[in-house]
């Protein structure tokens, strides 16, 4: 039985880049713990031995090294929330000295 | 109402223009939205019907036939939001292969349908833009995640709609709304332009009133696509082949593991009655065992969230979609944008999936689930190789449940996929067909066939449809 | 002893290198956008490499082939089945929030590269070679407080090549990179390996241990290595730093450090304190990567003879030193040029041909700043003719060089015999002409003549030079020396 404690919830939320308030941390911890309980059924199945990469019954598909005709209906600048001089702009990483990204 | 492709084509042959059909769809849609509560099947609709130039394909198979597309499939003409705030107003600069093929066949997009956010849900209650309702009982859910597509077809706005399946998201709403819901084999229909939830399970599906229509649409959208490496180079199943499939001599398996698991007595009775009809028509019914079945839901709810946690990482506020502008730095922007943009169920699954892939838990959860998935595939391989031509089971354990009934208990909601997830895990084609009703509520049963066995699958479904005589109840309009 | 490291007696470095090379394809790894360097920002992008909702990757067949080819050139086993995986992390120039790479089942494993530093030879194990996609580029100083992202590079195909921790000094690290570049750029021809444009990038990890010990210390990773010289400098610094840390009784911290080429030192990277968890898992958008045995054989057969084989063969076939053999084997073009010359001169003159290629020809190419194959400038027939005439005494070393220079310039494309005749470069064998030049010189320098005759015999060098000048370099030196000695002595006797 796996208990997802608040420390683990915060760690996972950090990996997933989700900011959670304390009530969410508590609720998600409880929900995840109870869902993981059901996952014990995974242990009850007789599974095959694994020696190589998990097989997938798909024929390989490769593409030729030629430029494709696919063109965007819109330029990147019209999609991005902030773009200048053709570049997509975001606030700097905090570690690199980020500040308010409004401009 | 436009109930079938044939009906639409009769109107067109009788002199109606494609634009008039779109207007007819709009009128029906307006009527449904005026209801209290509104059906809320659509997130956006085309509001200007400019006649399209008749191109070289003016005699396309679906020339002028209106249709709807689930809002997690990219179209050029309307936004593609996936029912999420994070993509509110997002317009795709390209369109999905399936949509391009329908447009090449002359079909006309009427609107984008509501769905659970990023297709995560079984009731369409997880849409950021409000739940859709079941046209048969507006206090109940239409199922999900393709609930908007099911509601739109069931209510007669359009004769067919595209949905998407990851764990039953076409078959379950089809079953709740009295429709045919087809999930093709994994690799049958290009996923290019289908916004990914869980890439190894996702497949575009089709919602129609009858089996023939599903076959016609499948023939158009199926087949290899150089833009999807998992889409296989196989000839598209032919709609014309369905009539060649006879029940006589077919061996149809009923997995005994599917007849427990919270199966409602009324659903069971309807299922048994259909089984008897199939047998009476010459099919041989055989009880089989798929012993890994009890692990299918846990397996699915490890693999799908794990893939989703990665697939949804791109919604980071950098290149498109929602961006939180109050952030002081990039990390803050990521976390706040995603916290604001994603709803509760999406967050829950991202958390679950990130956890299942994280150091220290990977082997116990993701690694183990991959092995269980292989065991599930092996179960199906065994019965299809040596015992049966197809499998037949209820689609869902119950009929449509009430709004709010399961939303508080995530795992209870997950269990409504108990009969459907295995086909996704094994990549099999499956189709749900209406087989009767309990009161006003439709009941569905599904066939599953070996991979790429769509012609047999749909042939059997068509025979059942003939036996039950389009078993979905007449739509009782709730007070407008 | 570790060559090229600062004083650190009793310690040795344990170094492993990770190299990313951009594969020479027209389009990106998983989409049809052009893989071009230097296009305006965000103009070589499509739904796939922008990570738009619903877009899917499809692997580039040519990138796979080039990966196979690179692996074969490094002596790796190429696996019939390998797999793409996702490496999950957030960064603004990583559009999908994950990089498609190969983790558990790489394209190829277990290769080796032979290197030499001074007199020492070492075989460096290549642990693995795998395919992956590049990220875009982030500029952190373009706009105040912001990062600006260009995704033209996002999705460009890379091969990542990881060594075993087999290198024992910064000089060996450099020698490995030099050899790797030679193999990938010139032999496998899979990449242009241009460090300035980032088509070859190297990261290193280093730990230290007592000579003779077999354990491994805590390693640091060193990044921002923009040239082979930087690699050597950064690792030398890092080696000395770690030795000092350990000798002071402290522990080396496992960390990533950036090389500052201006200060010549490595420093801990900012903002990387958090332990990363990349949550690798199989890329569900892609089938397993299956490589036909036929493709592997095709690539193997189309590879030129590799430098190790060339070197061994040149030593045994022509009796060359290891050094000469290595210089002639730096590229297939040079090796085959040498062989076409040697074929025409005959094996006896192979060494003279080699000397001329590595001496005069290399100097001339260098002077002209040309890089292209020697062959295009001086046909092997012409060089063979010059080598032969030199061996027959028709040309002196000076006139041979002069002939070569002329044939690079005004006489390009001309027959060497005509060039030599037209410019009077052939050594003069005619004794009458030689006597005339000698008489002229002796008469012009009566003082030196008297001193020579007085016993100052070292002045023979002075007379030799004067005669050579008078002859325009055409006097045969041996004949001239003999005749000069005779001429000066004869006068003494009379």
With contact defined as beta carbons under 8 Å apart, do C264 and C270 qualify? no
What rounded mean pLDDT belongs to chain C?
89
Query: Does B12 contact chain A (CB < 8 Å)?
Result: no
Put simply, the answer to whether B355 touches A81 (Cβ < 8 Å) is no
- The Cα C197–Cα C118 span in angstroms is 30
> What pLDDT does residue C266 have?
94
CA B30 to chain centre: 24
Tens of pLDDT, residue by residue over C143-173, are: 999 999 999 999 999 999 999 999 999 999 9
Where in the sequence numbering do the catalytic residues of B fall?
70, 145, 169
> What pLDDT does residue C4 have?
44
Closest CA in chain B for residue A96? B329
Question: What distance in Å separates residue C381's CA from the closest CA in chain A?
Answer: 39
| Closest CA relative to residue B149, chosen from B98, B101, B90 | B98
| Rg of chain C in Å (alpha carbons) | 30
pLDDT band for position C377 (cuts 50, 70, 90): confident
Cα–Cα distance list, A92 to A77, A99, B330, C124, C141 (Å): 19, 7, 5, 40, 9
**Residue C84 pLDDT > 90, yes or no?**
yes
- The Cα B82–Cα B95 span in angstroms is 14
Question: What distance in Å separates residue A27's CA from the closest CA in chain C?
Answer: 24
The single-letter DSSP state of residue B479 is P
Q: Which residues of C touch A92 (CB under 8 A)?
A: 140, 145-147
Cβ contacts of C381 within 8 Å, gap of 6 or more: C344
> What pLDDT does residue B62 have?
97
- The Cα C492–Cα C494 span in angstroms is 6
How many contacts (CB atoms, under 8 Å) link A and C? 132
> What pLDDT does residue C493 have?
47
Put simply, the answer to whether A91 touches C149 (Cβ < 8 Å) is no
Residues 266-305 (B) with a CB less than 8 A from some CB of C: none
Residues B399/B404/B406/B409 CA torsion (nearest 10 deg)? 180
Q: Which residues of B touch A16 (CB under 8 A)?
A: 309, 313, 338, 350-351, 354
Candidate from C62, C149, C290 with C-beta closest to A60: C290
Candidate from C27, C151, C287 with C-beta closest to A65: C27
Omega within 30 of 0 (cis) for the link into B37: yes
Cβ contacts of C290 within 8 Å, gap of 6 or more: A60, C80, C81
**Mind listing the pLDDT tens digit of every residue in chain B (480 residues)?**
899 999 999 999 999 999 999 999 999 999 999 988 999 999 999 987 766 655 444 679 999 999 999 999 999 999 999 999 999 999 999 999 999 999 999 999 999 999 999 999 999 999 999 999 999 999 999 999 999 999 999 999 999 999 999 999 999 999 999 999 999 999 999 999 999 999 999 999 999 999 999 999 999 999 999 999 999 999 999 999 999 999 999 999 999 999 976 899 999 999 999 999 999 999 999 999 999 999 999 999 999 999 999 999 999 999 999 999 998 899 999 999 999 999 999 999 999 999 999 999 999 999 999 999 999 999 999 999 999 999 999 999 999 999 999 988 888 888 888 999 999 999 999 999 999 999 999 999 999 999 999 999 999 999 999 999 876 667 766 543
Tens of pLDDT, residue by residue over B150-208, are: 999 999 999 999 999 999 999 999 999 999 999 999 999 999 999 999 999 999 999 99
> What pLDDT does residue C6 have?
47
> What pLDDT does residue B411 have?
84
With contact defined as beta carbons under 8 Å apart, do B379 and B244 qualify? no
Put simply, the answer to whether B358 touches C51 (Cβ < 8 Å) is no
Put simply, the answer to whether C97 touches B74 (Cβ < 8 Å) is no
Query: Does A100 contact chain C (CB < 8 Å)?
Result: yes
DSSP secondary structure of A14-41: HHTT----HHHHHHHHHHHHHHHHHGGG
Tens of pLDDT, residue by residue over C9-57, are: 899 999 999 999 999 999 999 999 999 988 999 999 999 999 999 999 9
Compute the average pLDDT of residues C368-392: 77
Q: Of B257-266, C60-69, C213-222, which one has max mean pLDDT? A: C60-69
Put simply, the answer to whether C287 touches A61 (Cβ < 8 Å) is yes
Candidate from B224, B374, B451 with C-beta closest to A54: B374
Query: Does B192 contact chain C (CB < 8 Å)?
Result: yes
Put simply, the answer to whether C146 touches A55 (Cβ < 8 Å) is no
Q: Which residues of A touch B230 (CB under 8 A)?
A: 58, 61
Q: Which residues of C touch B312 (CB under 8 A)?
A: 97
Closest CA in chain C for residue A77? C42
When scoring C54, C96, C98 by the number of chain B Cβ atoms within 10 A, the one with the most, hence best to mutate, is: C54
Point out which residues pair with C225 in neighbouring strands.
C202
Cα–Cα distance list, C383 to B100, C342, C412 (Å): 63, 10, 12
- The Cα C475–Cα C469 span in angstroms is 9
Q: Which residues of A touch B427 (CB under 8 A)?
A: 57
Query: Does B351 contact chain A (CB < 8 Å)?
Result: yes
Q: Are strands A87-91 and C146-150 parallel, antiparallel or unpaired?
A: antiparallel
Q: Which residues of B touch A87 (CB under 8 A)?
A: none
> What pLDDT does residue C104 have?
95
Runs of H (alpha helix) within C445-476: 446-453, 460-471
The single-letter DSSP state of residue B367 is I
C69's tokens: 């080819």
> What pLDDT does residue C427 have?
73
Q: Rounded to 5, what percent of chain B is helix, strand, coil?
A: 40, 15, 45
Question: Coil, strand, or helix at residue C11?
Answer: strand
> What pLDDT does residue B480 have?
38
When scoring C35, C147, C258 by the number of chain A Cβ atoms within 10 A, the one with the most, hence best to mutate, is: C147
Cβ contacts of C4 within 8 Å, gap of 6 or more: C117, C169, C170, C171, C232, C236
Higher pLDDT, C426 or C181: C181
- The Cα B277–Cα B444 span in angstroms is 15
When scoring B298, B302, B406 by the number of chain A Cβ atoms within 10 A, the one with the most, hence best to mutate, is: B298
**Residue C360 pLDDT > 90, yes or no?**
no
> Which burial class, exposed, middle or buried, applies to C40 when counting CB atoms under 10 A from its CB (0-12, 13-18, 19+)?
exposed
In this structure, of A13-22, B44-53, B157-166, C313-322, the range with the lowest mean pLDDT score is B44-53
Cβ contacts of C104 within 8 Å, gap of 6 or more: A53, C83, C85, C280
Q: Which residues of B touch C97 (CB under 8 A)?
A: 310, 312-314, 316
> What pLDDT does residue B472 have?
66
Query: Does C133 contact chain A (CB < 8 Å)?
Result: no
> What pLDDT does residue A102 have?
40
Put simply, the answer to whether C279 touches B87 (Cβ < 8 Å) is no
Three-state helix/strand/coil letters over C333-368: HHHHHHHHHHHHHCHHHHHHHHHHHHHHHHHHHHHH
Put simply, the answer to whether C53 touches B330 (Cβ < 8 Å) is no
Q: Which residues of B touch C98 (CB under 8 A)?
A: 310, 313
**Residue C431 pLDDT > 60, yes or no?**
yes
Interfacial residues of C (vs B; Cβ cutoff 8 Å): 47, 50-59, 86, 88, 90, 92, 95-98, 147, 149, 151, 277, 279, 281, 284-287
pLDDT band for position A3 (cuts 50, 70, 90): confident
- The Cα B168–Cα B122 span in angstroms is 8
> What pLDDT does residue C233 have?
95
Residues B191/B194/B200/B205 CA torsion (nearest 10 deg)? -80
Write down which chains contact chain C via at least 3 CB pairs under 8 A: A, B
C276's tokens: 């990363």
Query: Does B355 contact chain C (CB < 8 Å)?
Result: no
> What pLDDT does residue B56 have?
45
Closest CA in chain A for residue B297? A39
pLDDT band for position C228 (cuts 50, 70, 90): very high
| Closest CA relative to residue B238, chosen from B210, B217, B224, B209 | B217
Cα–Cα distance list, B90 to B15, B95, B98, B337, C427 (Å): 37, 13, 19, 15, 83
Question: What distance in Å separates residue A66's CA from the closest CA in chain C?
Answer: 6
Closest CA in chain A for residue B357? A12
Q: Which residues of A touch C47 (CB under 8 A)?
A: 70, 72
Cα–Cα distance list, A83 to A86, B439, C50, C296 (Å): 6, 57, 14, 45
Quote the longest CA-to-CA distance of chain B: 70
Compute the average pLDDT of residues C209-231: 91
With contact defined as beta carbons under 8 Å apart, do B257 and B341 qualify? no
Higher pLDDT, C480 or C39: C39
Q: Which residues of C touch B92 (CB under 8 A)?
A: 47, 52-54
Candidate from C42, C52, C61 with C-beta closest to A86: C42
With contact defined as beta carbons under 8 Å apart, do C45 and C234 qualify? no
In this prediction the ipTM stands at 0.95
Cα–Cα distance list, B360 to A12, A35, B227, B280, C194 (Å): 12, 18, 36, 55, 40
DSSP secondary structure of C133-188: E---EEESSSSTTEEEEE-TTTT-EEEEEEE-S-B-SHHHHHHHHHHHHIIIIIIS
> Which burial class, exposed, middle or buried, applies to B360 when counting CB atoms under 10 A from its CB (0-12, 13-18, 19+)?
exposed
Q: Which residues of B touch A101 (CB under 8 A)?
A: 325, 327, 329, 333
Write down which chains contact chain A via at least 3 CB pairs under 8 A: B, C
Candidate from C59, C97, C287 with C-beta closest to B314: C97
**Residue C430 pLDDT > 80, yes or no?**
no
Closest CA in chain A for residue C269? A95
B219's tokens: 């023939």
Query: Does C64 contact chain A (CB < 8 Å)?
Result: yes
**Residue A53 pLDDT > 90, yes or no?**
no
Put simply, the answer to whether C92 touches B318 (Cβ < 8 Å) is yes
Put simply, the answer to whether A35 touches B411 (Cβ < 8 Å) is yes
Containing C445, the helix (H) or strand (E) segment is none
């Amino acid at each position: 039985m796996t208990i997802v404690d608040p420390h683990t919830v915060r760690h996972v939320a950090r990996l997933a880049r989700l900011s959670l308030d304390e009530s969410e941390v508590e609720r998600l911890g409880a929900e995840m713990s109870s869902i993981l309980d059901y996952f014990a059924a995974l242990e009850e199945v007789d599974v095959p031995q694994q020696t190589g990469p998990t097989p997938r019954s798909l024929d390989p598909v490769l593409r030729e090294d030629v430029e494709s005709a696919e063109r965007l209906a819109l330029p990147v600048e019209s999609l991005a929330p902030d773009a200048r001089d053709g570049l997509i702009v975001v606030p700097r990483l905090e570690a690199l000295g980020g500040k308010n990204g409004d401009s | 109402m436009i109930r079938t492709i044939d009906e639409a084509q009769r109107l067109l042959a009788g002199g109606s223009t494609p634009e008039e059909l779109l207007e007819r769809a709009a009128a029906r849609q307006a009527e449904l939205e005026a209801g209290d509560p509104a059906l809320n099947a659509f997130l956006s609709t085309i509001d200007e019907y400019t006649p399209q130039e008749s191109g070289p394909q003016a005699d396309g198979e679906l020339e002028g036939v209106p249709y709807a597309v689930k809002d997690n499939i990219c179209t050029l003409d309307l936004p593609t939001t996936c029912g999420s705030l994070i993509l509110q107003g997002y317009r795709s600069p390209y369109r999905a292969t399936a949509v391009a093929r329908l447009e090449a066949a002359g079909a006309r997009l009427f609107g984008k349908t509501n769905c659970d956010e990023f297709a995560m849900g079984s009731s369409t209650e997880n849409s950021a833009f409000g739940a859709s309702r079941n046209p048969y009982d507006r206090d109940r859910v239409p199922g999900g995640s393709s609930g908007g597509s099911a509601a739109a077809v069931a209510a007669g706005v359009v004769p067919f709609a595209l949905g998407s399946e990851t764990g039953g998201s076409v078959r379950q709403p089809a079953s709740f709304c009295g429709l045919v819901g087809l999930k093709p084999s994994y690799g049958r229909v290009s996923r290019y332009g289908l916004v990914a939830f869980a890439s190894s399970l996702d497949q575009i599906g089709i919602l129609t009133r009858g089996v023939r229509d599903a076959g016609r649409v499948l023939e158009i959208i199926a087949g290899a696509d150089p833009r999807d490496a998992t889409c296989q180079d196989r000839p598209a199943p032919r709609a014309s082949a369905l009539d060649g499939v006879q029940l006589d001599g077919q061996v149809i398996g009923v997995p005994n593991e599917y007849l427990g698991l919270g199966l409602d007595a009324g659903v069971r009775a309807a299922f048994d009655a259909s089984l008897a009809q199939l047998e009476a028509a010459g099919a041989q019914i055989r009880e089989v065992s798929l012993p890994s079945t009890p692990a299918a839901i846990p397996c699915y709810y490890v693999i799908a969230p794990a893939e989703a946690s990665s697939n949804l990482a791109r919604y980071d506020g950098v290149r498109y979609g929602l961006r939180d502008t109050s952030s002081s730095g990039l990390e803050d922007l990521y976390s706040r944008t995603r916290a604001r943009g994603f709803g509760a169920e999406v967050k829950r699954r991202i958390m679950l999936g990130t956890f299942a892939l994280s150091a220290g838990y990977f082997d116990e959860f993701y690694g183990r689930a991959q092995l269980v998935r292989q065991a599930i595939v092996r179960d199906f391989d065994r019965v299809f190789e040596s015992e049966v031509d197809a499998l037949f089971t209820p689609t869902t354990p119950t009929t449509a449940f009430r709004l709010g009934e399961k939303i508080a208990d995530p795992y209870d909601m997950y269990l409504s996929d108990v009969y459907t997830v295995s086909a996704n895990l094994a990549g099999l084609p499956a189709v749900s067909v209406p087989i009767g009703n309990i009161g006003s509520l439709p009941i569905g049963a599904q066939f599953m066939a070996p991979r790429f066995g769509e012609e047999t699958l749909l042939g059997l479904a068509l025979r059942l449809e003939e036996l039950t005589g389009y078993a979905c109840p007449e739509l009782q309009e709730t007070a407008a | 002893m570790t060559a090229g490291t600062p004083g650190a007696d009793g310690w040795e470095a344990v170094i492993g290198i990770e190299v990313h090379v951009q594969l020479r394809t027209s389009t990106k790894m998983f989409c049809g956008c052009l893989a071009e360097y230097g296009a305006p920002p965000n103009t070589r992008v499509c739904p796939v490499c922008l990570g738009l909702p619903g877009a899917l990757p499809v692997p580039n067949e040519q990138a796979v082939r080039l990966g196979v080819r690179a692996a074969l050139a490094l002596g790796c086993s190429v696996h019939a089945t390998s797999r793409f995986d996702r490496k999950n992390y957030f960064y603004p120039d990583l559009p999908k929030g994950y990089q498609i790479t190969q983790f558990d089942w790489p394209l190829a494993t277990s290769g080796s590269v032979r290197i030499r530093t001074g007199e020492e030879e070492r075989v460096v194990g290549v642990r693995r070679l795998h395919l992956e996609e590049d990220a875009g580029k982030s500029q952190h100083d373009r706009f105040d407080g912001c990062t600006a992202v260009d995704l033209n590079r996002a999705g460009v195909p890379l091969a990542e090549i990881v060594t075993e921790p087999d290198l024992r000094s910064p000089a060996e690290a450099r020698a490995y990179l030099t050899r790797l570049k030679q193999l990938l750029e010139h032999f496998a021809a899979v990449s242009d390996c241009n460090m300035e444009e980032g088509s070859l990038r190297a990261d290193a990890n280093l730990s230290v241990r007592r000579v003779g010990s077999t354990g491994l210390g805590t390693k640091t990773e060193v990044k921002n290595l923009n040239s082979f010289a930087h690699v050597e400098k950064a690792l030398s610094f890092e080696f000395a730093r770690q030795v000092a840390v350990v000798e002071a009784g402290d522990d080396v911290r496992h960390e990533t450090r950036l090389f500052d080429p201006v200060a010549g030192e490595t420093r801990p990277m900012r903002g990387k304190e958090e332990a990363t968890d990349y949550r690798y898992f199989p890329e569900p958008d892609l089938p397993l990567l299956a490589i036909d045995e036929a493709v592997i054989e095709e690539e193997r057969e189309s590879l030129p003879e590799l430098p190790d084989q060339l070197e061994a063969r040149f030593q045994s076939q022509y009796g060359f030193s290891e050094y000469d053999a290595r210089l002639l084997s730096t590229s297939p073009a040079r090796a085959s040029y040498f062989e076409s010359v040697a074929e025409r001169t005959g094996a006896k003159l192979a060494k003279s041909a080699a000397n001329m290629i590595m001496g005069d020809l290399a100097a001339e190419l260098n002077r002209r700043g040309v890089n292209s194959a020697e062959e295009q400038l001086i046909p092997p027939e012409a060089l063979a003719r010059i080598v032969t005439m030199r061996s027959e005494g028709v040309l002196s070393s000076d006139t041979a060089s002069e002939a070569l220079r002329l044939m690079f310039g005004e006489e390009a494309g001309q027959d060497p015999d005509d060039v030599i005749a037209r410019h009077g470069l052939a050594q003069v064998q005619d004794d009458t002409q030689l006597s005339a030049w000698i008489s002229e010189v002796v008469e012009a320098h009566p003082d030196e003549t008297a001193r020579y005759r007085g016993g100052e015999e070292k002045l023979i060098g002075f007379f030799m030079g004067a005669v050579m000048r008078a002859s325009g370099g055409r006097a045969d030196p041996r004949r001239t020396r003999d005749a000069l000695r005779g001429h000066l002595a004869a006068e003494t006797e009379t």
